[in-house]
Structure 1
Amino acid sequence: MDYIISYGVKIILSQSLYRMNMSYQNSGSFREFVGKEDVFLAPVLKWAIGPKTQATFELEYNHQHSGLDAAFVPFINGKLLNMPRGRNYAEYSPSTTEAVLGSFNWSHQFNDDWSIKHRFTVNHQTNDLSLTAASGVDDNGNVTRYQFGSNFKLNTYSTNLDLIGHFDTAGLKHTLLFGGDYYRIDKHEIGLLNLVDAISFANNESLIDLNNPVHPGSPFPGRLQPSFLENIQTDLYGLYIQDQIKLPYGFQVMGGIRYQYLHQKALNQGLGLLASPPDYTTQTDDAVTPRVGFLWQPQSWISLYANYVESFGANTGKLLTNRPVPSTSAEQYEGGIKTEFFGGRLRATLAYFDLTKNNVATPHPNLAFAKAGYSVITGAARSRGPELDITGEILPGWNVIATYANLDTKVLQTNDNSNGQTPMIGSRFFNAPRNTGSIWSTYEILDGDFKGIKIGGGATFRDGQIGCCDTPSYKIPGYATVDLLAAYSLDVGKTKITAQLNINNLLDKHYFAGIFTQKDNRNGGVDFGQPRTFMGAINVQY
């Protein structure tokens, strides 16, 4: 049983509004040595300085302590080993994260047509982890395991300033946006490895029996010690302008352009047994990216639209080569139709898109490396297909959300330095199911003796998925799950108390949600699907 407690306080003072959001979550897991405790605090102060000027101050604090899961399931004769889904070949792997975010934004309305908005955000995050992960099976039927950790600090600063204006030219209504932004990302990490020598990682392994694992297995011969240092500083500068024009007969057009400049410098150095001189690298890049759009609304309840967008920016993550991840770019075409029913209460969107991304950073196919923040780069990948979204209220108290997507993904280009750790050209992108969909519906009694009772349920389905980098690729089957919800809300004075129970995976379907494999390595990992789970929550608002 998992449980969540959330608490919200809203106080209205003269010319100001104060709100405090708090939550606490403590969840175990069906997996050995895995769990999470989470504390979240978020005060917000909104100040109406004047009738046309307002400011908002926000602070968020999050403390999370968890046991990480580097899932590992060996492939036997090309198939995943049939094993209890709770079995963990690793050991308890603690991770502690603290994050503090502060933001300040203000806006001023010069008149009915012109306004200015400014936002500044700073985010400080630290993470300490020690991870034990399985790496394969030796000839004696023992699972080989290795150990690493990290001390991680991340500071992010961002600011943007927007000027928004409304005006007419030749009977055409314009909404003009002009602005600029700046992002600064400072990352500092000390990587820890369990080493006794720098020649062979095999000399640094621990063993545990494949069929009858007895923890903690054989002891590691060494200890975790600082092994590498990585400092990366990223600066992003952007300027943009956009104009949206309202034309006669329900037509609207939009056009914009953005210039972005990226500068990144990195320091990498081996420590301890892997000691090496400091290695300094820099990369600089820039791009001009357009965006255009078209909308036609012949009636109030229906709209047809099309757009084309290009993007450019910095990638996140890190490479095993201890180099910054190169910048990424993308272009997307999209068109569709939006409709409304029942006076706007129910909305539906049917769209088709075609997205191509270059230098696609994805988690490393080795799940242990992925948990440590390592990425691999695919030169170019394409995703395209139709999407359907339906959301809204069918009858008073009866709400529904339904989604469906049919995605055709394909790898268009690989990188020469990928060392076989990216998918083959022409293959589907790994962990990208062709068909996905979900439906969720709730009904709440709005009046009478049973007012406040809510019930709901839904289903989710996903097609099968392939792993990375193998020929032929290993696969996991598709799955469908059913979830239920029951809740009761009670007003006590100005306080609203809600108790809720969720049952996830009602039918206790045994499934895998994702797969991780490596080239020439028949040992891989999977994301285990959550078994039947009961989760209770209490929410208090006043």
Structure 2
Amino acid sequence: MISKSIMTQIPCLRPSDKRLAPLALAIALGISAHATAADQGVLELDATNIEDSALGADPSGQLGYTVESTRSATGFALTPRQTPQSVTTITRQQMQDRDIHSIEQALETTPGVSISKMEVGGRTEFRARGYGVTNWKVDGLQFPGGTDFSGGGAALNTDLYERIDIVRGANGLLGGTGDPSATVDLIRKAPSRTFGGSAYATYGSWDRRRLGADLNLPLSEDGRLRSRFVVTQQEANSFRDNQAERSRAALANFAFDLDDATTLGAGFQYEYSKTVGSGWGANIPIWYGDGSKTDLPRSTNLVPSWSYGEVDTRTAFASLQHRFDNDWTLDLKGSQSTIDAVGQRGLAKVNSTGRGVYGGYWNQDGSGAVLNGLYSSTDTTQQSAQFDLSGPFQLLGRSHQAMFGYSDSRTVAWTPQYNCNLLSAAGVGPTTAGCMYRANNGPAIGNWHDGVDDDFALLVSRTGLHSKTTTRLQGLYAATRLSITEPLSVIVGARTSDYSAITRDVNGGRSSQHNSGVVTPYLGAVYDLDDTYSLYASYTDIFTPQTQETASGGRVEPIRGQSYETGVKGAWFDGRLNASAAYFLTKQENKAVMDGDLTTPTNAQAYKAGTGQETDGIDLELAGSLTPDWNVYAGYTYLHFRRVDSDGRQDPSHLFKASTTYRLPGPLQRLTLGAGVTAQSNIRALSSPAGQPTNGVSRGSTDVNWSGYAIWNALAKYQVTDDTSVSLNANNLFDKHYYSRYGFYAGAIYGEPRSLSLTVNTAF
């Protein structure tokens, strides 16, 4: 059922005139709500219509800015307080309030997660606890969601998803790989028995136009056969020169109750994203050729008109759930995703000229810039399946839980080889196998002040050769949650994984990597101090296969390590407000780092096993409702590097994110105001592998300071009727100049300036 606010039907809560501390005020307001309903006896609501975050969870288990329970961390349906790890949920209400429609926008609001771009409209790395996020799921199934040149992350459209769970720290029990950063699990919108729907239209800065509709349609009178349809489309220009974006998505999800205990599900979804004017690498140089700092306009984007990146993802999925009479549940689910990723990219930037020397630095008189070019395409198919059996059991007079499962994913990536010719006024350039033009073979730009020369063109043809990589990850896992005493519960589990990756390059060479019987233990404990507070601790091993290739064409060996976490959690107002404070420690070995200017047999950047990293820190988080009218969401992370590998740091030591909305009382009760901030400290980063030049060239890395920043946003929403609202969102309210990348190949990427968007939303 589509969530529909009924806040306008609820009496406003007013604090007394006596001054109260913020927490005391919140508690007093919560008690006042219950007392008012009990004393007056006038609040009569049909239970089937109560879906507001302050009163009860919606069909997907959401409570405004928090959730009733989550399975993403342990496989057991546990409240946030009873989960022995840091878990954040981006709810549907948060996405609507913050005008979030992409995975990048969602993770920008997530506590503990930082973002580092490698180019405009291309690769974006999401990082947590000092490591890149590589473990992606949809409805619990493995999904190739990375935002590299072959992943589907760039097309992930959050209009199709009900919520997003982010488990910070290693998730070796369910993740398949013990990623030490975080696991991102997107939960699809599912059909319910009641007819309902919503639609919206948005117009914003840089001619951003977006339309979306969501329809829940029962297909039988009793709702046993039901469906959910979602469609959305966006077109927008950009603050950058020569850049425009286009995206669209659709979801058809069906469910059929075979009987009272068995439900069959099936569906299909489509996600598409294209960025015209995307580049290959950071699009703003940090230094001119003479070594002095640049100060270029944020609109600068030296790309040709034919430069673009495009991702097309199609997913079919099915599920079967059976609920036994003894409260055990059997879940079977599977999916197949096909991702077509194409990039024809051109950009004036610094790059290798060979033998550890880097050139292509811009000179202030307009000379020096060299057009780099890259054409690549990858067709990726991933098949994922999962079996779970879970339920309660009795032992020694107490009730416990058990879970058994098996997961299997197989990914085939097929990459054709291309020959390219980069044309210019000087004529047709030499044919390049692999379609990669760097500072040593790209054409010079006449005057970069005037943009990229109009006569440049890229001619592409297939050679008939291709590389193919087949990856398979299988795992058996089991866990039990033992109720040792009334206040103490312990989760003990383990996973055994088999991993294989076989690559055949364009020349017919074969390389492989196999790891069998890798055991990943998991241990978690929660001790309830009282009805509000709990102490917890957890431990798991780290095992993460890596996809980066070495100079010889093989895979970098898997990451190994350990992840520890301990802390305290609290829950108030029947779970509508949750808070946590955690200390974490992560040790990691073998993480892939760039191997200088060496390339793989297919001319991609080569990597090698690094010296490893070790981090620890503190996570603080608060999410939920202080009153029926007041939602809050905030998190602070302190990150300390005990040991850093050769690629240097990309993470801030201090990261703070907060967002809040408040519905005004009395005559203004139809008006909701909101504000938020994302702030991070400076990063002592590394411009690598190219650094500050001397006489137009550099021969190594340079330490740089990636300045900290605070980005504010604001919201005003007016409920025109009970069903229709108008919202105004402002991002980067004070128009802060900041960077979303600083120090990659002597380049940087500007963050987005101030933008506004106006949305009309209606429900039916």
Please state which band the TM-score falls in when normalised by the shorter chain: 0.7 to 0.9
Tell me if the contact between 1:436 and 1:461 (Cα under 8 Å) persists in the aligned partners.
yes
Confirm whether residue 30 of structure 1 aligns to residue 262 of structure 2. no
Equivalent of residue 410 in structure 2, options 170, 179, 184: 184
Confirm whether residue 114 of structure 1 aligns to residue 333 of structure 2. no
Q: Give 1:449 deviation, angstroms.
A: 6.2
In the other structure, the counterpart of 1:315 is 546
Confirm whether residue 473 of structure 1 aligns to residue 703 of structure 2. yes
Confirm whether residue 99 of structure 1 aligns to residue 313 of structure 2. yes
Q: Distance in 1 between matches of 2:604 and 2:253?
A: 31
Q: Distance in 1 between matches of 2:438 and 2:253?
A: 50
Tell me if the contact between 1:206 and 1:218 (Cα under 8 Å) persists in the aligned partners.
no
Query: Which runs of structure 2 are paired with 1:8-87 in the superposition (5 Å)?
Result: 8-12=214-218, 13=220, 14=222, 15-67=224-276, 68-70=278-280, 71-76=283-288, 80-87=293-300
Q: Give 1:284 deviation, angstroms.
A: 0.6
Q: Give 1:283 deviation, angstroms.
A: 1.1
Pick closer, same or farther for the CA change 1:455–1:78 going to 2, 3 Å. Answer: farther
Tell me if the contact between 1:234 and 1:262 (Cα under 8 Å) persists in the aligned partners.
yes
In the other structure, the counterpart of 1:89 is 302
In the other structure, the counterpart of 2:737 is 510
1:395-415 C-alpha deviation (Å, 9 max, x unpaired):
2211111111011135455xx
Q: Distance in 2 between matches of 1:304 and 1:66?
A: 47
1:251-296 C-alpha deviation (Å, 9 max, x unpaired):
0011111100011110112xxxxxxx32111111131110001100
Equivalent of residue 142 in structure 1, options 331, 354, 368: 368
Tell me if the contact between 1:455 and 1:485 (Cα under 8 Å) persists in the aligned partners.
yes
Q: Give 1:351 deviation, angstroms.
A: 0.5
Q: Give 1:9 deviation, angstroms.
A: 0.5
Q: Give 1:155 deviation, angstroms.
A: 0.3
Tell me if the contact between 2:541 and 2:562 (Cα under 8 Å) persists in the aligned partners.
yes
Q: Distance in 1 between matches of 2:593 and 2:669?
A: 47
In the other structure, the counterpart of 2:453 is 216
Opposite residue 255 of structure 1, the aligned amino acid is V
Question: Which segment drifts farther, 179-188 or 30-39?
Answer: 30-39
In the other structure, the counterpart of 2:750 is 528
Tell me if the contact between 1:398 and 1:444 (Cα under 8 Å) persists in the aligned partners.
yes
Q: Give 1:490 deviation, angstroms.
A: 4.9
Tell me if the contact between 1:208 and 1:218 (Cα under 8 Å) persists in the aligned partners.
no
Tell me if the contact between 2:419 and 2:461 (Cα under 8 Å) persists in the aligned partners.
yes
In the other structure, the counterpart of 1:125 is 339
Q: Distance in 1 between matches of 2:272 and 2:312?
A: 5
In the other structure, the counterpart of 1:4 is 210
Unaligned runs of 5+ in 2: 1-204, 351-359, 422-429, 689-699
Q: Give 1:183 deviation, angstroms.
A: 0.5
Q: Give 1:10 deviation, angstroms.
A: 0.9
Q: Distance in 2 between matches of 1:364 and 1:99?
A: 32
Q: Give 1:504 deviation, angstroms.
A: 0.6
Q: Give 1:374 deviation, angstroms.
A: 5.9
Equivalent of residue 580 in structure 2, options 331, 334, 349: 349
Q: Distance in 2 between matches of 1:99 and 1:488?
A: 36
Equivalent of residue 400 in structure 1, options 616, 632, 637: 632
Q: Give 1:364 deviation, angstroms.
A: 9.9
Unaligned runs of 5+ in 1: 270-276, 414-421, 424-428, 519-523
1:400-449 C-alpha deviation (Å, 9 max, x unpaired):
11111011135455xxxxxxxx42xxxxx422111110111111358x76
Confirm whether residue 284 of structure 1 aligns to residue 519 of structure 2. no
Opposite residue 455 of structure 1, the aligned amino acid is L
Opposite residue 653 of structure 2, the aligned amino acid is R
In the other structure, the counterpart of 2:4 is none
Q: Distance in 2 between matches of 1:239 and 1:476?
A: 43
- Aligned residue for 1:344, secondary structure, equals coil
Opposite residue 11 of structure 1, the aligned amino acid is L
Pick closer, same or farther for the CA change 1:289–1:114 going to 2, 3 Å. Answer: same
Opposite residue 158 of structure 1, the aligned amino acid is S
Q: Distance in 2 between matches of 1:403 and 1:375?
A: 36
Tell me if the contact between 1:175 and 1:244 (Cα under 8 Å) persists in the aligned partners.
yes
Q: Distance in 2 between matches of 1:127 and 1:28?
A: 21
Question: Which segment drifts farther, 344-353 or 238-247?
Answer: 344-353
Pick closer, same or farther for the CA change 1:85–1:105 going to 2, 3 Å. Answer: same
Opposite residue 251 of structure 1, the aligned amino acid is L
Q: Give 1:84 deviation, angstroms.
A: 0.7
Q: Percentage identity across aligned positions?
A: 21
Q: Distance in 1 between matches of 2:237 and 2:716?
A: 21
Question: Which segment drifts farther, 208-217 or 250-259?
Answer: 208-217
Q: Distance in 2 between matches of 1:121 and 1:72?
A: 40
- Aligned residue for 2:486, secondary structure, equals helix
Tell me if the contact between 1:6 and 1:540 (Cα under 8 Å) persists in the aligned partners.
no
Pick closer, same or farther for the CA change 1:61–1:138 going to 2, 3 Å. Answer: closer
TM-score of the two chains, using structure 2 as the length reference: 0.62
Question: Which segment drifts farther, 195-204 or 172-181?
Answer: 195-204
Q: Distance in 2 between matches of 1:282 and 1:215?
A: 42
In the other structure, the counterpart of 1:521 is none
1:357-398 C-alpha deviation (Å, 9 max, x unpaired):
3343579999xx9xx996845532223200110111112211
Q: Give 1:209 deviation, angstroms.
A: 5.4
Pick closer, same or farther for the CA change 1:249–1:79 going to 2, 3 Å. Answer: farther
Pick closer, same or farther for the CA change 1:197–1:65 going to 2, 3 Å. Answer: closer
1:78-132 C-alpha deviation (Å, 9 max, x unpaired):
6641111111122232122211111111111122332211110110110221001
- Aligned residue for 1:212, secondary structure, equals helix
In the other structure, the counterpart of 2:178 is none
Confirm whether residue 263 of structure 1 aligns to residue 500 of structure 2. yes
Tell me if the contact between 1:301 and 1:344 (Cα under 8 Å) persists in the aligned partners.
no
Equivalent of residue 488 in structure 1, options 718, 721, 724: 718
Q: Distance in 2 between matches of 1:534 and 1:303?
A: 42
- Aligned residue for 2:449, secondary structure, equals coil
Q: Distance in 2 between matches of 1:362 and 1:35?
A: 32
Q: Distance in 1 between matches of 2:300 and 2:514?
A: 46
Q: Distance in 2 between matches of 1:385 and 1:8?
A: 41
Q: Distance in 2 between matches of 1:204 and 1:101?
A: 40
Q: Distance in 2 between matches of 1:284 and 1:437?
A: 40
Q: Give 1:528 deviation, angstroms.
A: 1.1
In the other structure, the counterpart of 1:456 is 674
Q: Distance in 2 between matches of 1:83 and 1:193?
A: 34
Q: Distance in 2 between matches of 1:48 and 1:490?
A: 38
Tell me if the contact between 2:686 and 2:702 (Cα under 8 Å) persists in the aligned partners.
no
1:212-235 C-alpha deviation (Å, 9 max, x unpaired):
233326736x73444773210001
Tell me if the contact between 1:6 and 1:539 (Cα under 8 Å) persists in the aligned partners.
no
Q: Give 1:145 deviation, angstroms.
A: 1.9
Q: Distance in 2 between matches of 1:468 and 1:255?
A: 44
Tell me if the contact between 2:542 and 2:588 (Cα under 8 Å) persists in the aligned partners.
no
Pick closer, same or farther for the CA change 1:335–1:139 going to 2, 3 Å. Answer: closer
Q: Give 1:497 deviation, angstroms.
A: 3.8
Q: Distance in 1 between matches of 2:348 and 2:446?
A: 11
Q: Distance in 2 between matches of 1:363 and 1:34?
A: 29
In the other structure, the counterpart of 2:387 is 161
Pick closer, same or farther for the CA change 1:365–1:538 going to 2, 3 Å. Answer: farther
Tell me if the contact between 1:459 and 1:482 (Cα under 8 Å) persists in the aligned partners.
yes
Q: Give 1:482 deviation, angstroms.
A: 1.0
Equivalent of residue 293 in structure 1, options 510, 517, 524: 524
Pick closer, same or farther for the CA change 1:152–1:354 going to 2, 3 Å. Answer: same
Pick closer, same or farther for the CA change 1:197–1:97 going to 2, 3 Å. Answer: closer
Tell me if the contact between 2:371 and 2:439 (Cα under 8 Å) persists in the aligned partners.
no
Pick closer, same or farther for the CA change 1:132–1:237 going to 2, 3 Å. Answer: same
Confirm whether residue 338 of structure 1 aligns to residue 569 of structure 2. yes
Q: Distance in 1 between matches of 2:431 and 2:462?
A: 13
